[in-house]
Amino acid sequence: MTRPAFTLKVTIEGKTLFQCLSFFYVSRSHIISLMNLGTYQFYQDEKLLKIDDVVSKGEIKVFINEKIDLYPNNEKIDIAYEDEHYLIVNKKRGDLIHSENSNDTLANKVAGYFQKHHIRRIIRINNRLDIDTEGLVIFSKDLLASSYIDYLIREKKLTKKYYALVHNRFNKKTGEISLPISSDRHNNNKMIVSKNGKKALTRYEVIKNGKMSLVDVTLLTGRTHQIRVHFSYINHPLVGDAIYGQGDGELMLQAYYLSFFQPFLEKMIYVIINLSPDIKRRADDGDR
């Protein structure tokens, strides 16, 4: 038997395979389909398990038969964190995360990294950033890992923080912005604050207050363009924002922090990157 992709611990007697897998919030129909195709196979004591087989305490060996599904681009990526299940990459401003019309995307570069390191897996992207935003993007290396992260995001159990450089001085050093957001029916590329929109909540703390202010932002919801819309609405548009302000397109926004419970390691993971040199430079220039 070839080497398994990874193993799962079983600590309680009497559970079925699916009960063990349901911890990762996978769809029963999806996992059955993949098992029938032979894409995912689960073994215990050399026995191939079916979805409703009862498993014993010990380990389940997980075998994965996948292929990289995107064209590999060998350009180097900036890895902020990696383990057996997750790859977290620091995306550059200007990089598309994924596009059907380009092989020069972050996803293609991750495909190149997977190919180089013999990680034969589908490219699974768990969070998105605008092309003009730099910072942390999560890629999962298997279905269970991806399903679990998707669950954390849905349930707001994954913490995301951003650095934002905005115009104008703040009267208060901390605050929350609770304004519903919807799409702008006059502009498909723009979002607006609207009483008929979806709930959106942003918490912030001012790090540096001035003509240009550096703000530490925590997203409590994940609406499209949420930070840009909220700060523009309260007269603090992001520096460089050409859509919601009067910027030059060099958006000063960085996703610098992620924390989440890693279910396979059974511990919290904290991924933090330094303030972007571009944002620091523009913040320093604002003092002159």
Partnered with residue 48 across adjacent β-strands are 43
**Burial classification of residue 172, based on how many CB atoms lie within 10 Å of its CB (0-12 exposed, 13-18 middle, 19 or more buried):** exposed
pLDDT over 90 percentage in the chain: 89
Task: Categorize the per-residue pLDDT at 2 as very low, low, confident or very high, splitting at 50, 70 and 90.
Answer: confident
The H or E element that residue 230 is part of is helix 226-233
pLDDT digits (tens, 9 = 90+) for 261-284: 999 999 999 999 999 999 999 988
Question: Are the C-beta atoms of residues 60 and 17 closer than 8 Å to each other?
Answer: yes
State how far the alpha carbon of 277 is from the alpha carbons of 16, 134, 203, 212, 286, in Å: 51, 11, 24, 16, 14
pLDDT at 288 over 70: no
pLDDT at 1 over 60: no
> Can you name the CATH fold of 6-64?
3.10.290
Give the pLDDT score at 222: 87
Give CATH 3.30.2350.10 domain extents, the chain: 66-155, 160-255
Give CATH 3.10.290 domain extents, the chain: 6-64
pLDDT digits (tens, 9 = 90+) for 98-136: 999 999 999 999 999 999 999 999 999 999 998 999 999
Give the pLDDT score at 65: 95
pLDDT digits (tens, 9 = 90+) for 15-64: 999 999 999 999 999 999 999 999 999 999 999 999 999 999 999 999 99
Choosing from 130, 142, 150, 241, the catalytic residue is: 130
Give the pLDDT score at 150: 96
Q: For domain 66-155, say whether CATH 3.90.1300.10 is its number.
A: no
pLDDT at 287 over 70: no
Nearest to 26 by CA among 116, 150, 161: 150
Give the pLDDT score at 246: 82
Give the pLDDT score at 248: 81
pLDDT digits (tens, 9 = 90+) for 143-172: 999 999 999 999 999 999 999 999 999 999
Q: Residue 186 phi/psi, 5° resolution? A: -95, -10
Thinking of the domain 160-255, which architecture would CATH place it in? Answer: 2-Layer Sandwich (3.30)
Active-site annotation holds for 130: yes
Cβ neighbours of residue 160 closer than 8 Å, sequence gap 6 or more: 127, 218, 219, 222, 255, 257, 258
Q: In this structure, what token pair is assigned to residue 6?
A: 């990874």
pLDDT at 75 over 90: yes
Cβ count within 10 A of residue 166: 27
Whole-prediction pTM: 0.93
pLDDT digits (tens, 9 = 90+) for 186-225: 887 899 999 999 999 999 999 999 999 999 999 999 899 9
